[in-house]
Amino acid sequence: MPKTATSILLLLVLFSSYGIASAAVGTLAIGYLEFKDDPHYRETFLESRYPAQPWGRPFDGAQLAIKESRFAAMAVGVEFKLERRSAVSMEALIRAYEDLYADGVRFFVLDLPDGMVAELAARTKPSAGLLFNISALDDKLRQSECQSHLMHIVPSRVMLTDALAQFLVFKKWRSLLVLRGSQPGDDRLYAAFARSAKRFGLKIEDTKDFLLGRDPRKRDQNNVALLTAGVDYDVVYVVDSQSEFARDVPYQVQKSRPVVGAAGLVPDWWHWAWERNGAPQVNKRFVRLAKRHMTGYDWAAWMAVKIIAEAVLRTNSSNLAELVEYIRGDEFKVDGSKGYPLNFRKWNNQLRQPIFLTIPNWVVERAPLRGFLHQINNLDTLGFDERENQCRL
């Protein structure tokens, strides 16, 4: 605290000498790394407008934040700039990182699949730069595969499943029928769900594995009515990382029960229909730039750049170590237009944040829900708390 206070004071003192029209004295370039063949961004997938999935490349979110940081840039006399590199392979990605590093880039925004984030973080030196994960939800990245120089802007899967579990407890819809997919990623999503179910005391009446398709010999696995007949339950919980099967579930269920998970009520970390905390203005600015609504991935890209700019403004420094210390510190506070001051969990570098429970054109609730309390910060009722931590930074 005293250190931060000092640096803020120092900043204020410096301001007077900078005056208002101080020209940029240097450039602070931010690397933006993406994978060219990322399955997240296949055309047909994007056009499906699945909830809590990307609707386009999130680069526009980063650009929006650059634009919004112009007064901070003016105040400290730097120019923020994005260096976008689209890699075709893991090796190309490493080369892109190294080239940017050689050019003096120390901040990197990573729009990459889970595995590539893990590998890049493992193969780069913690002292060499700060990485911001804006798309990988994998829980392992926050636990056994965590890295001290890897900051997570997007929530982990367990933060999402915890938020939904809180909602189910709040509604007293504790009895679940689970429909589980078998695509890559579904097993990890199921593990996150199972942990949340246990943590919040949800009761799994039955778990059924579904298959995509119309094969009449596999009707008991590909027909939603058959899958949801039989045992009774309060809700159908769909575990489907690809969202394609899930979208057909809400009105094909056998019983008149709500559907949650990958369709129906979906946990998400941004939603264009959130109407508080200045969120409509953020979405409008994004729409103007990207010609589409803003998703959680776009929000994460926007936040990553905002966090860097905020740290530069408040410390009046471009020194990596100083900025990292500030960003990871207790006094750090950034506004994400979701209504809480946001900062990072010390034990795994995850950005604390509220999670929305959403339907296609509305936010039904914001987690943490009322009544879910934590001894230090209620946002830590979502995801891996310090006592469950397996990350060694």
Partner 1 sequence: MRLAFPTLLLLLICTAQPTYAKGTGFVFVSSEKDHVVTVFRPGTLKEIKKISTGQRPRSMRFSPDRSKVYVACGDDDSIDVIDVEQLKVVRSIPIGDDPDRFDVSPDGKFIYASNEDEGLLTIYDIVNDKVVAEIPVGEEPEGVLASPDNKYVYVASEVSNMVHVIDVKSHELTANIVVGTRPRRIALTPNRSELWVTNEIGGSVSIIDKVTNKVVEEIAFQPKGFRPEEVTPVGIHITQDGKRAYVTLGHANHVAVVDVPSRQVKQYVLVGRRAWGVALSADESTLYVVNGKSDDMSVIDTRNMKVIRSVPAGRVPHDVVVDN
Q: Is 16 in the site for partner 1 (CB under 8 A)?
A: yes
Helices and strands (DSSP H and E) totals, the chain: 13, 14
Binding mask 313-332 for partner 1 (x = CB under 8 A): xx------------------
Count CB-CB contacts under 10 A for residue 360.
11
CA distances 269 to 4, 84, 205, 245, Å, are: 29, 24, 28, 22
Provide the minimum distance between the beta carbon of 219 and partner 1 in the complex, in angstroms, as a whole number: 48
Which of 6, 89, 182, 281: binder of partner 1 (CB under 8 A)? Answer: 281
CB 178, CB 168: distance < 8 Å: no
Q: Is 293 in the site for partner 1 (CB under 8 A)?
A: no
Q: Is 171 in the site for partner 1 (CB under 8 A)?
A: no
Q: Is 235 in the site for partner 1 (CB under 8 A)?
A: no
CA distances 19 to 5, 317, 376, Å, are: 21, 17, 40
Bridge partners (DSSP) of residue 236 are 177, 259
Binding mask 57-96 for partner 1 (x = CB under 8 A): -----------x--xx-xx---------------------
CB nearer to partner 1: give 81 or 284: 284
Return d(Cα 267, Cα 157) in angstroms, integer.
10
Q: Is 15 in the site for partner 1 (CB under 8 A)?
A: yes
Bridge partners (DSSP) of residue 88 are none
Which of 252, 339, 388, 393: binder of partner 1 (CB under 8 A)? Answer: 339
Provide the minimum distance between the beta carbon of 340 and partner 1 in the complex, in angstroms, as a whole number: 5
CB nearer to partner 1: give 21 or 102: 21
Q: Is 273 in the site for partner 1 (CB under 8 A)?
A: no
Which amino acid is present at 303? M
233: buried, middle or exposed (CB in 10 Å: 19+, 13-18, 0-12)?
Answer: buried
**Region binding partner 1 by CB under 8 A among candidate stretches 13-21, 83-91, 136-144, 217-225:** 13-21
CB 62, CB 70: distance < 8 Å: no
Candidates 353, 279, 288, 335; CA nearest to 60 is 288
CB nearer to partner 1: give 74 or 211: 74
Provide the minimum distance between the beta carbon of 343 and partner 1 in the complex, in angstroms, as a whole number: 9
Sign for the pseudo-dihedral over CA of 380, 384, 389, 393: negative
CB nearer to partner 1: give 147 or 378: 378
Q: Is 305 in the site for partner 1 (CB under 8 A)?
A: no
Strand bridging mode 130-133 / 150-152: parallel
Provide the minimum distance between the beta carbon of 73 and partner 1 in the complex, in angstroms, as a whole number: 10
> Is there a cis peptide before residue 368, judged by omega within 30 degrees of 0?
yes
DSSP code string of 169-222: HHHT--EEEEEE--STTHHHHHHHHHHHHHHHT-EEEEEEE---S--GGGHHHH
Return d(Cα 64, Cα 119) in angstroms, integer.
28
Q: Is 378 in the site for partner 1 (CB under 8 A)?
A: yes
CB nearer to partner 1: give 23 or 102: 23
Kindly state the DSSP code that residue 24 receives in the 8-state scheme.
P
Q: Is 262 in the site for partner 1 (CB under 8 A)?
A: no
CB nearer to partner 1: give 15 or 101: 15
CB nearer to partner 1: give 45 or 340: 340
Which amino acid is present at 264? G
Site size toward partner 1, by CB under 8 A: 26
Q: Is 393 in the site for partner 1 (CB under 8 A)?
A: no
Give the footprint of partner 1 on this chain (CB under 8 A): 11-12, 15-16, 20, 68, 71-72, 74-75, 278, 281, 284-285, 310, 313-314, 333-335, 339-341, 377-379
